[in-house]
Structure 1
Amino acid sequence: MEKTALILVDIQNDYFPNGRMELFEPNRAANNARKLLNFFRNQNMPIFHIQHIFNDHNAPFFAPGTEGITINEAVAPLEGETIIQKNYPNSFRQTPLLNQLRQAGTEHVVICGMMSHMCIDATARAAVDYGFTCTVIEDACTSPDLSFRGRNIQATDVHNVFMAALGSLYATIETATAYLEKAKVK
């Protein structure tokens, strides 16, 4: 059986109501991430909380020293759980994540969090490039509405397109419920 680790990406207050960059249904995504977190805790499996902090105090969100950088209470780390701070969308870039996953003997990563089209996409692709098998828990991820060439693209469409792209070659795409049902059987 593959040794599996959970990576919770950027589930931080700025993405929630009253934050600086509210996403589509962040509470739903965080609640599904919480189910995964509880399972990994109960199984004593490796957990990595990723926290994005921009280097610029004038950043539009995740500015240093703001409440927005705090990991949301739905998935708040317990004492002793690993928190890795990053400054780029890819959770591996200039962080100790790769070394810590390898030290834990990880072969498979389960990824969830914010934002599907940016940090989830970059982290999942990098994980596969580094040799891990990857599962993305799609209902524990979300995105905002985007615009391109004057056209508004709904958050659900943004999310679905990125899950379809990741699912084509990079990752197994699962819901939290489906993943947990399979994991409990093993």
Structure 2
Amino acid sequence: MRAALLIIDMQVGLFNGPEKPYDGERILANIQRLIAQARERHVPIFAVRHTGPEGSPIAAGSPFWQLLHALELDAELDTLFDKCRPNAFQGTDLAQRLNAANIEELYLVGMKSQFCIDSTCRSAADLGFNVMLVADAHTCMDTAALPAEAIIRHHNATLGAAFARLIDSADVTF
């Protein structure tokens, strides 16, 4: 199956904001390794930015809206696009781009587990993609209701039960 790596919302303002993502440096290192492996194997990389409304910290063009420089994404090599909804397919041409590239298997990584990872994972499965949720390459922040570690564990269990196959970053072979 032809695979692609989908990086969701690894943005300056979300990753380096006042609330730090759970285990952020390890998650970032895992994603960086996946990017390197994807490049070695000529696997397409898609990276999406969440775009907030005008005046918000992650409004289009703002410093916090930018994808993390540490990812070393390249607009010449990678497909970079924007979204305004948690689901990366909603209001974007992501499905058309993946279908045009004959992508069948989609590896999901990024932020935030309970919002954009969850909704994109479910939608990708509904659209017929073979979804691989990289269990140790998505994260979020603590909430008033639950610590981030519990949120991630819950989403791995829930999404892995019906919408995706769970895989650790060390086991990804594209």
TM range (shorter): over 0.9
Q: Secondary structure at the match of 1:7?
A: strand
1:64 Cα deviation from its structure 2 partner: 3.0
Which residue, 100, 111, 114 being the options, matches 1:103?
100
Name the SS for the 2:172 alignment partner.
Answer: helix
In 2: Cα distance, 1:33 partner to 1:127 partner? 20
Letter in 1 for 2:166: I
Q: Is the 8 A contact 1:20 1:68 kept in 2?
A: no
Matches within 5 A, 1:42-61: 42-57=40-55, 59=56, 61=57
Bigger Rg over Cα: 1
Quote how far apart the aligned CAs of 1:22 are: 2.9
Instruction: Report the counterpart of residue 76 of structure 1 in structure 2.
Output: 72
Q: Partner amino acid for 1:38?
A: A
Give me the whole-angstrom Cα distance separating, in 1, the residues matched to 2:129 and 2:32. Answer: 23
Paired residue for 1:12?
11
In the alignment, the residues of structure 1 paired with residue 84 and residue 67 of structure 2 have an alpha-carbon distance, to the nearest angstrom, of 15
Gaps of 5+ in 1: none
Q: Secondary structure at the match of 1:24?
A: coil
Partner secondary structure for residue 62 of structure 1: coil
- Structure 1 counterpart of 2:65, one-letter code: I
Amino acid corresponding to residue 165 of structure 2 in structure 1: T
Report the CA distance between 1:111 and its aligned residue: 0.5
**What's 2:131 paired with?**
134
1:64 aligns with 2:60: yes
Partner of 2:30: 32
Aligned residues: 173
CA distance in 2, matches of 1:111, 1:120: 7
Identity over the aligned pairs, expressed in percent? Answer: 28
Tell me the TM-score normalized by structure 2: 0.93
Offset, 1:45? 1.3
Which residue pairs with 1:87 in the alignment?
Answer: 84
